[in-house]
Amino acid sequence: MGPVLAVMRREFAGYFATPVAWVFIVIFLVLQGTLTFSLGGFFERDQADLIPFFQFLPWVLVLLVPAITMRLWAEERRLGTIELLLTLPLSQGQAVGGKFLAAWAFTLVAILLTFPFVITVNVLGSPDNGAIAAGYLGSLLVAGAFLAMGAACSALTKSQVIAFVIGVALCFVFAASAFPVVTDFLSHNLPLLATIARKLSLIDRFQNFVRGVIRLPDVVYLASQIVFWLTVNTLLLEHKKAD
């Protein structure tokens, strides 16, 4: 774990070496606050819960997580420092794991800074804090899955812009795969794919957490997504190194 933690510390410190990290956090908090309290009709619902907050969170992550991951490998390749990194006494898997954990820790900081929302609902009423805690756990797992996807996309190209666009598209596919418009179309044309799309949806799994239900299959699925895309990331680096 030593090399992994060393990479993690280096990358995590790198986020806060420039104002970009703070800009990201401010944008994230403003977006979540606006969507929760304005578009989500928080006060009009007259219910002390964070359901509007969690309804919008995955979609905000779809847009902002690729902005975190787009530089992970694309920047290393553009600057030519990836060769130096991969010649250090650590494996590709350790480098991938360290960078991913740094991005995940940074995202965790951003999500935890929404804690005033929890205080607000507790002041206004008596919410189910167990369900809120489960929602935050689900948010962290969904963010981890999106981060792993975005990191794999970053390993594909030297261009951060291309990595961002591909990352957003990939995250959106897994977020929207269970939308009625998608499943209805597939049900009429490709029934087998409709079933697969429903099972692949991250949002459906996330909704169980929002309801306060932590199911082992949901945890395993989201964790499997993280492992799968980190493996893809590692294999892409192996391929680039062989080139």
Q: Between the ranges 29-43, 78-92, 120-134, where is the mean pLDDT highest?
A: 120-134
**Distance, CA of 99 to CA of 142 (rounded, Å):** 17
Taking alpha carbons only, the member of 149, 181, 183, 140 closest to residue 168 is 149
Task: Give 170's contacts (C-beta < 8 A, 6+ positions apart).
Answer: 149, 150, 153
Mean pLDDT, range 229-236, rounded to an integer: 91
**Distance, CA of 132 to CA of 144 (rounded, Å):** 18
CA distance readout (Å), 144 to 40, 61, 147? 24, 10, 5
State what percent of residues in the chain have pLDDT above 90. 37
Does the pLDDT at position 32 exceed 70?
Answer: yes
Q: What was the pLDDT predicted at 156?
A: 86
Q: How many CB atoms lie within 10 A of CB 93?
A: 17
Place of tokens 């359901």: 51
**Distance, CA of 163 to CA of 108 (rounded, Å):** 22
**Distance, CA of 46 to CA of 65 (rounded, Å):** 31
Place of tokens 């794991």: 97
Residue 75 in tokens: 């920047």
Per DSSP, the three-state class of 158 is coil
Q: What confidence category does residue 81 fall into, taking pLDDT thresholds of 50, 70 and 90?
A: low
Mean pLDDT, range 158-185, rounded to an integer: 80
User: Does the pTM of the predicted model rise above 0.85?
Assistant: yes
Task: Give 31's contacts (C-beta < 8 A, 6+ positions apart).
Answer: 56, 60, 64
**Distance, CA of 4 to CA of 102 (rounded, Å):** 10
Task: Give 37's contacts (C-beta < 8 A, 6+ positions apart).
Answer: 43, 52
What pLDDT digit, counting tens, does each position of 189-201 carry? 666 666 666 677 8
Are 150 and 65 within 8 A, CB to CB?
Answer: yes
Task: Give 190's contacts (C-beta < 8 A, 6+ positions apart).
Answer: none
